[in-house]
Amino acid sequence: MVGFASTRSDAASQTADDTGVAWLHTGYFTGDPEQVDPDVAGLIALEQKRQREAVELVASENFVSRAVLAAQGSVFTNKTVVGYPGRRFHAGAEWADALERLAIERACAAFGCGFANVQPHSGIQANLAVFRALLSPEDVVLSMSGETGGHFSHGGVSNLSGAMARAVFYGVERDSELIDYDELRRLAETHCPKLIVAGGAAYPRAIDFAALRAIADGIGAKLLVDIAHFAGLVVAGAHPHPFPFADIVTTTTYKSLRGARGGLILTNDGSLVERLEKATSPGVQGSPLLHAVAAKAICLGEVLRPEFTAYGHAVLANARVFAAELMARGVRVLTSGTDTPLVVADLKPLGLLGQPIVESLDRAGITCNRCEIPFDDTDPALSSGLRFGLSAGTTRGLSIDSVREVAGWIAELVASHAAGSPEVAAREADIKARAAALMAPLPLYAMTGAGLR
Ligand SMILES: Cc1ncc(COP(=O)(O)O)c(C=O)c1O
């Protein structure tokens, strides 16, 4: 690896003996990555090229604005604070306080709620904070099962949340593949959970928040709605709003919301605010990533603009066309459609597994991920499903016609696999060329070396 000091021409002429602070003369405050560290700079450039040329259908990704990207690289990177605005452990927090207050104000405006915590480092941190605030290990939490689309941070055994409460899981109806609200009510009445969790990683349909509120009220439970995948659609008015039904809403900020990586906790219940604050920090994390808070503030400003309303509706329209085209081309889609940016394809009727198709699509310049299918006992490491998200492609400007075309390519490649065609590799190469030709002209950050200018 290339060292920090060795890549700058002025490093050779000045040493620690000359200055006592040699690092200040090695491009420390002035060098760009391509000058200071060509190894990392090269990888950034390659990733930028990949992002430019691939059809990005990973549901948990998006392309942030240049301003969000710049804020992530701002001097707020350097500031440490612990606590909340006006109540910090470290001095020098005047501008950090102003920044966090601005982000909170915008989060409340975007989601129409009274209180927001913008500190969670990620969606899981946000969910863990809610669990810590509301639950003890002997309490029951009622969440959607992973195989029917729930998220593992809602009490899954693989996650710390699974040790923070005793999880009971609800699922979907076999025929409609929609949440089984009767089963949910039965489980709630039987197990008396202290918390009911809705929202997930692979459930494509709108959730009946009012029905969940009624069930929660019937047993005195709190209702948490994790809107990570459809938060942007909620803000845009393209999806039902979880408030006033939810006691607490959590979300990630980097999927359909199109912001920096991170999480938010939102509520209208003032009596929960202090508990949620303490549970977040020092409960499950320490000082906030203020550079990410700066980026969240910019994102939350962006989502309040009229363009974002158009974006949210375009994501939904693209997702629906994508689902319809897959179905028209012989690929089964869970619930026969979507109300969110998510589309889940079921490969079982075609006798295929998810993971090998994900890898084949990747070779063809189309990125997505595998996904479990309800009532399917295939090894989750292979799975029978493919999960797609239309948030990122829509940001790049994919039109309805282009989305239809891409769905056609996917169906074409899937059909080749199903037919055991010897032409699969040639088809992958052909689609990769078509994908690059479609995507490369669409807007993205200017490419200048590793720089993000
Ligand atoms: C519904 C849901 N909640 C939480 C998360 C976790 O987010 P993170 O990876 O930022 O912790 C995800 C991740 O994609 C998710 O889909």
User: pLDDT digits over 93-104, tens only?
Assistant: 999 999 999 999
Residue 448 pLDDT grade (very low, low, confident, very high; cuts 50, 70, 90): low
Q: Tell me how far apart the alpha carbons of residues 262 and 260 are, in angstroms, rounded to a whole number.
A: 6
Q: How confident is the model at residue 21 (pLDDT cuts 50, 70, 90)?
A: confident
Whole-number Å distance, alpha carbon 162 to ligand 1 midpoint, is 15
Q: Topology of 72-303 in CATH?
A: Aspartate Aminotransferase; domain 2 (3.40.640)
**308-439, CATH topology level:** Aspartate Aminotransferase, domain 1 (3.90.1150)
Nearest to 105 by CA among 94, 116, 97, 95: 116
Confidence check: pLDDT of 396 > 80: yes
Atom of ligand 1 nearest to the CA of 154: 3
Decide: 153 in ligand 1 pocket, CB within 6 A.
yes
Domain boundaries along the sequence of the chain: 72-303, 308-439
Q: Whose CA is nearest to atom 4 of ligand 1?
A: 123
Our answer on whether the CB atom of 196 is closer than 6 Å to any ligand 1 atom is no
pLDDT at 278: 98
* The Cα angle at residue 422 between residues 350 and 424, in degrees rounded to 5: 65
| Ligand 1 and 199: CB distance under 6 A | yes
- What's the rounded Cα separation, in Å, for the pair 112 and 93? 27
| Predicted confidence (pLDDT) at residue 452 exceeds the cutoff of 60 | no
Residue whose Cα lies nearest atom 14 of ligand 1: it is: 60
Ligand 1 geometric centre to CA of 413 (Å): 29
Fill in the DSSP letter of residue 284.
Answer: I
Distance 124 CA to ligand 1 centre (A): 6
The Cα–Cα gap between 396 and 440 comes to: 10
Condensed to tens digits (0 to 9), the pLDDT of residues 56-69 reads 999 999 999 999 99
Ligand 1 closest atom vs CA 124: 11
Joined tokens for residue 212: 């969940």
**Closest by Cα among 94, 64, 415 to 254:** 64
